[in-house]
Amino acid sequence: MIDRLEKVIRTVFSIEDGPIDENWTSDDIPEWDSVGHLNLIVEVEKEFGFKVEIEEMFEIEKLKDLSTLLTKKGV
């Protein structure tokens, strides 16, 4: 799961190399603006095969929140 999620994050935010910190927020990733957030959600939905509810979308403030969401969805 983590490798797949990392691949999505790298693709959406054009992060080629180096470690990804699960505590990164939109302050740490310039591409993580409102459009970047929507792109991230769409790609997570595609990769893992579930829909993210509106409330859940607003709960994602740092990358770790995506892992928490995947666990909550049973991935």
Q: How far apart are CA 24 and CA 9, in angstroms?
A: 11
When divided into structural domains, the chain yields a total of 1
- Domain at 37, CATH number: 1.10.1200.10
pLDDT in tens, 10-49: 999 999 989 999 999 999 999 999 999 999 999 999 999 9
Identity at 29, one-letter amino acid code: I
Whether residue 65 contacts residue 46, with contact meaning beta carbons closer than 8 Å, is answered with no
pLDDT at 2 (0 to 100): 83
Domain that holds residue 20: 2-72
Q: Which residue has the tokens 């799961």?
A: 1
